[in-house]
């Protein structure tokens, strides 16, 4: 009977775990998978010009620059990012076309105060910094305005962004669909052109001063599951320890006397 109870308890635990995994997967941003995301909260957002309540602890947002060697057929797949990894891009193979006798390309990402650019369309607001991406051939200095094949761009945001805004000149904006990536407050979208990029969201979005609530909840859930899974095994181990007295023997002996 004891072994059957242990097996039954284990099956119940597995069912509970599957249900909890499904529920938390829907509750976490981006439909993240709790089995693989872990419980580490995202790093604090770096502002180029932080709101007053975050000015004291803010670390300055960083730009980034990446050099690419070009061969006769362009460049292989590459990745470029700011030094704080708040914006990342990757290009598919041969997305950068050859250009005359140029042997390289520099991808540079500047971080900007969005207030110095034109505002986004009505009904949305900038969520975080603005970024300017430029691509320049070397040694000619000619600009590369667009890729021959679409790449990806990933933009970190501080609050509640749900789309990416793009502008070729920082004046006229177009909003593009984006996908939330995991639980790290990051949006992923298509990258095809140099220009200005911002994470954008609803006008009533609120800054999350503290993060990590999901981590605490996840730890509590996992702790409860561990207790549920292992408590029957502990009970069995205690009962089978040398010297443990089976229930009922003492009472039976007294009755015989």
Please state the domain extents for the chain: 2-35+214-256, 44-201
| pLDDT at 35 (0 to 100) | 42
In CATH terms, is domain 44-201 a member of 2.60.220.30?
yes
User: Is the pLDDT score of 252 beyond 60?
Assistant: no
Query: In this predicted model, what pLDDT tens digit does every residue of 176-227 receive, in sequence order?
Result: 989 998 767 999 999 999 999 999 998 886 544 433 334 444 444 455 555 5
Q: How far apart are CA 162 and CA 189, in angstroms?
A: 11
Convert the pLDDT of each residue in 54-101 to its tens digit: 898 899 999 999 998 887 665 667 899 999 999 999 987 688 888 888
- How large is the average pLDDT for residues 93-121? 92
Tell me the HSE value of 83 on the side-chain side, using a 13 A CA sphere: 9
* Residue 174, beta-bridge partner list: 166
pLDDT value of position 71: 74
pLDDT average, residue stretch 140-163: 94
* Structure confidence by residue, pLDDT tens digits, 12-40: 554 454 444 444 444 433 333 344 444 56
Report the distance separating Cα 71 and Cα 128, nearest Å.
37
């Amino acid at each position: 009977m004891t072994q059957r109870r242990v097996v039954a308890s284990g099956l119940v635990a597995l069912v509970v775990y599957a249900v909890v995994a499904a529920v938390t997967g829907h509750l976490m941003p981006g439909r993240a998978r709790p089995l693989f995301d872990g419980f580490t909260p995202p790093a604090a957002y770096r502002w180029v010009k932080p709101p007053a309540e975050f000015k004291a602890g803010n670390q300055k947002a960083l730009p980034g620059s990446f050099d690419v060697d070009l061969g006769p057929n362009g460049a292989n797949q590459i990745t470029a990012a700011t030094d704080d990894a708040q914006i990342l891009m990757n290009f598919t193979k041969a997305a950068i076309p050859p250009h005359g006798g140029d042997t390289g390309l520099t991808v540079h990402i500047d971080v900007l105060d969005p207030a110095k650019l034109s505002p986004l369309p009505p009904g949305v607001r900038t969520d975080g910094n603005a970024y300017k991406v430029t691509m320049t051939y070397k040694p000619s200095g000619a600009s590369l305005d667009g890729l021959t094949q679409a790449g990806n761009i990933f933009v970190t945001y501080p609050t509640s962004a749900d789309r990416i805004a793009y502008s070729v000149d920082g004046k006229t904006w177009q909003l593009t669909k984006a996908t939330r990536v995991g639980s790290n407050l990051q949006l992923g979208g298509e990258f095809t052109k140099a220009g200005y990029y911002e994470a954008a969201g609803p006008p009533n979005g609120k800054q999350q001063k503290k993060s990590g609530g999901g981590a605490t909840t996840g730890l509590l859930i996992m702790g409860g599951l561990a207790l549920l899974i292992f408590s029957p095994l502990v009970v069995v181990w205690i009962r089978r320890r040398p010297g443990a007295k089976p229930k009922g023997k003492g009472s039976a002996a007294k009755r015989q006397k």
